[in-house]
Structure formats: C-alpha cells, structure tokens
Structure 1
Amino acid sequence: MEQMSRIYLDHAGATLPSEAQIKEISENLMKDVFRLGNPHSRHQSGETTLDIIKQVKECILTHFGVNSEEYSVIFTKNTSDSLKIMAEIVLNIFDKKAENKKLLICDDSHTSVHGIRHQLTNWKTTVKLFETITSKKNVDPFDLFILTAMSNFTGKKYDKNIIIKLKESNPNILICADLASLCGTSPINFKDFYFPDFVALSFYKIFGYPTGIGALIIKKSAKMEKFSPKGFFGGSVNFYNIETGEFILKENFEEK
C-alpha cells in the first residue's frame, strides 16, 4: 500500500470518490450498449440516456423516501444553481404580488442562501439567529423560509421542528431545505422535514465524482404546475416560430 502523502478534510466542500466508483464509471462508459447521447435525440443512444436519467431520478427520490408522484427532480450545476432556480420559480408563483412578501433566513446559512435576497428584490428579508426564532412562542408570518439543515461552517444540525412553528403562523409558507451539507453525512427522509416544497443539494458532496452536478427537488402542487419560465433553452420547447418568437413549452414540469 502506498504511503499516504496528505490528509483530506474538506468534505463540506466536496467528498473524495472511491477507486471502485471511478473504475465502474469508466467501464460502463466504454460499453457499446452504454454509449450515451443527447436525451432529446430520437436514436438508440439518446433513448438509452433518457431511460438512465429517468431511472436515476427514481433512485434519488427513493433515497429520500418519496416518489415521482410527489416530487420532481431538476438536475443543476450545484446547490447555488438550485437556489437560483428556486428563486425564479418563487417569483413566478407570486408574480406581481411580491411587494409585501417576506423571506426568512438564518444567520448561519451558506452564502448562496444569503445571496437569494438579491434575487427577491421586492421582498422584505429577515435574517435571524436560529435560536431567536425557536425561542419565541409566536413568530411573525413569512412567505418563504430557507432552512440550512446543517451548517457547512460549524457542522451544527438545526432543529427541523422550526418548520411546524412557521407553518402555524402561515400555513401557506413555502419551505426550501438546503441539504447540501447534511446529505453528505446523514441519511435523509423528506418526511423528517415535513415534506418541503423545495430541496437543494449537490451530489459531489455525497459521492465526489462527477463534479458539477446538483439537484433542485420540487414538491408537486398546483402552484408549481403553473410555473412558466421566461423564454426557453434547447430541448424545453415543443414549438418555436423564428419569425414571431412564439413558442410552446413542453408540458412536463421537469423539461420546461
């Protein structure tokens, strides 16, 4: 066995992949039956890739104790990207009614969470110590709460029952669980988080390779189904008129 030359401790940033993992990935990619292609293309490699994506999404949801009837999986670059998309969806849901909306975040949240306040520009943002919120008998009503389940700085895990307290003040509050740090160290069931509306995470914090893959997992609801992004990209449309700019998005929420 080679002598260890360094010690790696930055698992809050990204964990290290195992040798067996890298070997299996490489072997699978070299198999002819496993040749990957564009999932929007209608040929064998494209259809194989689309099937794999569907299977992976089901595995992800099963890992968190839910299924595709309850949640949708949107692949992203990382947790920060997931939170940005979440903010876009929230703005779309509330539309022009956002002037009086309120966002609550805790002081010990990741910088990506704090950055959301600059996307929700018309919202009133409140930043508080976690203990300040939980110690109050009654809390003010908020419209969106982003819970960082585990601090990436201190490693502290926060009490999930804060969600119940906030829902007592506003039953319609949207809950976003930032599980980026926690998912790399602990088994998670969405039931323990009272089935949040949004979950943001990065997969490379769980298994290290490949990097640049995260997810925004979204609870299916009437509100979410109304979401329609501004514009479109690549395979997200069924129709586009190059002269008028008219377009029709795909009906599947995950493909919009």
Structure 2
Amino acid sequence: MNFTEQFPVLNNYIYLDTAGSGILSQSIQQWRKAHDEQFVQEGSKFRLYQADFLEDVRDHVARFFKAKTENTFLVQNFSIAFNAFLDGLDRSHRFLILQSDYPSVNYPIESRNFKSIEYAELDENLEQNILNKVRSFKPSILTLSLIQYINGIKIDLDFIKKLKQEYPEMLIVADGTQFCGTESFNFEDSGLDVLLSSGYKWMLSGYGNGFMLIKDHVNEHLYQDRIDHALPQEPFLKHKKLLTLCFEPGHLDTLAFGTLKQSILHLEQLGMDVIEKRLHTLSELAKKAFTERGLLTSDVAQRTTHSTIFNLKSDEALIKRMRDAHVLFSPRGAGLRISFHFYNTEQDLEKLLQIIDRA
C-alpha cells in the first residue's frame, strides 16, 4: 500500500519518528479546515451542539478500545489526565513503577507524598522483575508504560492479564501513548484498570487530545474526599458526574477531539488487524537486521517480541549520514531512536540499513 498521497511528508523524508510525533493526513487536514471555516462563519452558534459532538467522539473512542462509554474521558493529553488521576487517590497507596520509565509517568508519582514507592528493573527480564517485586513489596498500584519510549521494550499483555488475576486488588495503571494505535485492544478484557494516552503519536490525531479509560471499580478509589460535596446544579453542568468534572474541567476543543475521531475512522478503515500484522512484520525484520549488526542493547536483543521502536547504537558520523539522507528520527538516551508505523515499508528499512552499512 502506498500512503504518500494521504501523508505528503513521506515524499520528503524517510519518516522514522512516529514515536516522537505522528503525522497528519490530507483528509484530516481538509476536515480541520472545514471545521474552522464553520466556526468562522457561525461564531457561538457553532458551539451550540458541542456537547453532542463530544459525546459522539467519546462513543468512538470507547468502541475503538472496547471500553464503556460512561468510563471514557476525553483529556488534553496523558500528563494532565495522569496528574488529575493521582490527585484523586488517597496518599496511603504503595506504588510499583519501572526504572527509567517515561518522566511523565514516574515524576508525578515520585513528587507526591504517597506512602511508599519501589522500582522494578527494566531489562530483558521485565515481567519476572515485576512479578518478584509485586510478591515482595505488595504494591497497591502498579504503574508503567506499555511500550518504553527510549528502547521500545513492550510489556507482555498476557502477563499483565495473569498478574491481575493473581492480584485482583492491585490497580494496574498504564500509559498507552506509545501503544494505542498499533494493534487491536480490548480494554474491558485486559488486565488493566486504567489506560491513559495522548493522541498525537500512533493514533495520528495531532496535539491537544487524548483519552482515559477506567474500569467500574476504579471509581471507588478516586476523589473520595469529594463524594459528599454537592455537585454543581447549573443547567450546563448538572448532567456531569464527579469524575467528569475532575477529568474534563472547562471547555474541550472540538477541533482537537474531532481530529481524534477522524483518526479513529481512518484506522478502522485500514483495519487494525492489518495494521497490527504490518507492524509485527516490520518489527521482526528490523530487530533481526539490527541484532545482526550489533546495534541493539542486550536487554532488547534478548527479548522474544518487541514493538516497532528501536534505539540504535550510533555516533556522530551515522547521525550526519541519516540527516543528510532526510531520515527523521529522535536522539534518545545513549543512541538514536527510530520507529515504524503502518505507512513505513520494507524499503524504508532497507534504505536505513544501507545508510548504516556505509560505515
């Protein structure tokens, strides 16, 4: 499949930086232009039906991830929602987090006065490390990124499901920003209790939108100090429940969240099963080629499965060759990070390998 017509940036670059930022399609650009033109022409009238508009977006998000609509919240990004989530928890919680996880995951936990925090080592034995810590530390909440932003290590979702079955009282909270949009996912059937994500990476929906999905029982853990306080009774707020007021305060941008809906429609049109299969193929080809060239750290090379995010050992000469060849990537950690989405091809990988092999 050729995606250059929908994604013109592919005509100018070998785009290997979706882990940094997804790209916008031509059709979404046209939708956004029509949206803003309507706002220009109608002013406040344009917002008369924004509540129905946003509820429709919520329905699409819930359907896409097989979550409950009433437990789906539209948020500006992962970080805002995650901080609001943490502020709704009692400080008696004991957190287990991963060493070197995304700063927007670890720092908000570390900087609050929760009872205690311990860390699981992030290496090729990640799942066993987590299990050992859960058994010894007995956390009340496990929080982690489903895919690690620096090296692309992906948690085994079957492990998460079994872990939840073994420790049903422990909440499992996940950052899905590097995961959502890469494969089919059934939230209600997963081991996760909470999933939060920004939309600007693999969901390809630009900036200013994200979502938060929770299970029914999570309600009893959040904002318990407010449940006896009367909710607003103004006509424009009286239909909102407590968690809606906490996670969706103020006005939401129909441009941003409308873009999220359009992206979901596009992903569904392509087929998440097709996308998942394509990414699996690219991941296996890339991992094999990078391992043969000694470009991966041992913790990544030794894992059985992997995402399409890789951190390659590099030097200034390789970085210059890649930039000269119009390859878009991100410096991360001790190397350079590249990532493949469905619009990438085996030819993109071959071109990258040719650049690497010139040394």
SS at match of 1:11: coil
| Runs (5+) with no aligned partner, structure 1 | 38-43, 231-235, 240-247
Q: CA deviation at 1:238?
A: 3.2
Given the superposition, is the C-alpha separation of residues 224 and 56 from structure 1 closer, same or farther in structure 2, using an over 3 Å criterion?
farther
Report whether the alignment pairs 1:203 with 2:199.
yes
Aligned counterpart in structure 2 of residue 8 of structure 1, from 15, 23, 28: 15
Corresponding residue number in structure 2 for 1:77: 76
Q: Between Structure 1 and Structure 2, how many residues are aligned?
A: 226
Q: CA deviation at 1:185?
A: 2.1
CA RMSD of aligned residues (A): 3.4
- Distance in 2, matches of 1:186 and 1:57, equals 19
Corresponding residue number in structure 1 for 2:55: 54
TM-score (norm 1): 0.74
Given the superposition, is the C-alpha separation of residues 67 and 14 from structure 1 closer, same or farther in structure 2, using an over 3 Å criterion?
same
Report whether the alignment pairs 1:133 with 2:133.
no
Corresponding residue number in structure 2 for 1:68: 69
TM-score (norm 2): 0.54
Aligned counterpart in structure 2 of residue 254 of structure 1, from 239, 244, 260: 244
What amino acid maps onto 2:97 in structure 1? I
Q: CA deviation at 1:109?
A: 2.0
Q: CA deviation at 1:167?
A: 5.3
Identity %: 20
SS at match of 1:204: coil
Q: Larger radius of gyration, structure 1 or 2?
A: 2
Aligned counterpart in structure 2 of residue 25 of structure 1, from 27, 32, 43: 32
Aligned counterpart in structure 1 of residue 152 of structure 2, from 126, 150, 155: 155
Q: CA deviation at 1:174?
A: 1.5
1:151-230 → structure 2 map (5 Å cutoff): 151-160=148-157, 161-165=159-163, 168-169=166-167, 171-194=168-191, 196-221=192-217, 222-224=219-221, 227=224
> Do the aligned partners of 1:61 and 1:67 also contact (CA within 8 Å) in 2?
yes
SS at match of 1:210: coil
SS at match of 1:146: strand
Of residues 134-143 and 172-181 in structure 1, the stretch that sits farther from structure 2 once superposed is: 134-143
> Do the aligned partners of 1:107 and 1:127 also contact (CA within 8 Å) in 2?
yes
Would you tell me which structure has more helix in proportion to its own residues? Answer: 2
Question: What is the CA deviation profile of residues 67-117 of structure 1, one whole-angstrom value per residue up to 9, with x for unaligned ones?
Answer: 225x231x3332122221121122xxx25xx1xx31001225211111122
- Distance in 2, matches of 1:27 and 1:146, equals 40
Corresponding residue number in structure 2 for 1:40: none
- Distance in 2, matches of 1:249 and 1:200, equals 24
Question: What is the CA deviation profile of residues 8-54 of structure 1, one whole-angstrom value per residue up to 9, with x for unaligned ones?
Answer: 3221122000111111221243247x9575xxxxxx54341110000
SS at match of 1:105: strand
> Do the aligned partners of 2:142 and 2:171 also contact (CA within 8 Å) in 1?
yes
Of residues 154-163 and 7-16 in structure 1, the stretch that sits farther from structure 2 once superposed is: 154-163
| Runs (5+) with no aligned partner, structure 2 | 247-359
> Do the aligned partners of 2:67 and 2:213 also contact (CA within 8 Å) in 1?
no
Given the superposition, is the C-alpha separation of residues 157 and 138 from structure 1 closer, same or farther in structure 2, using an over 3 Å criterion?
closer
SS at match of 1:183: coil
SS at match of 2:118: strand
> Do the aligned partners of 1:104 and 1:142 also contact (CA within 8 Å) in 2?
yes
What amino acid maps onto 2:244 in structure 1? E
- Distance in 2, matches of 1:217 and 1:190, equals 8
Given the superposition, is the C-alpha separation of residues 153 and 250 from structure 1 closer, same or farther in structure 2, using an over 3 Å criterion?
same
> Do the aligned partners of 2:146 and 2:178 also contact (CA within 8 Å) in 1?
yes
Q: CA deviation at 1:224?
A: 4.9
Q: CA deviation at 1:228?
A: 5.5
Report whether the alignment pairs 1:114 with 2:106.
yes
> Do the aligned partners of 2:19 and 2:202 also contact (CA within 8 Å) in 1?
no
> Do the aligned partners of 1:134 and 1:162 also contact (CA within 8 Å) in 2?
no
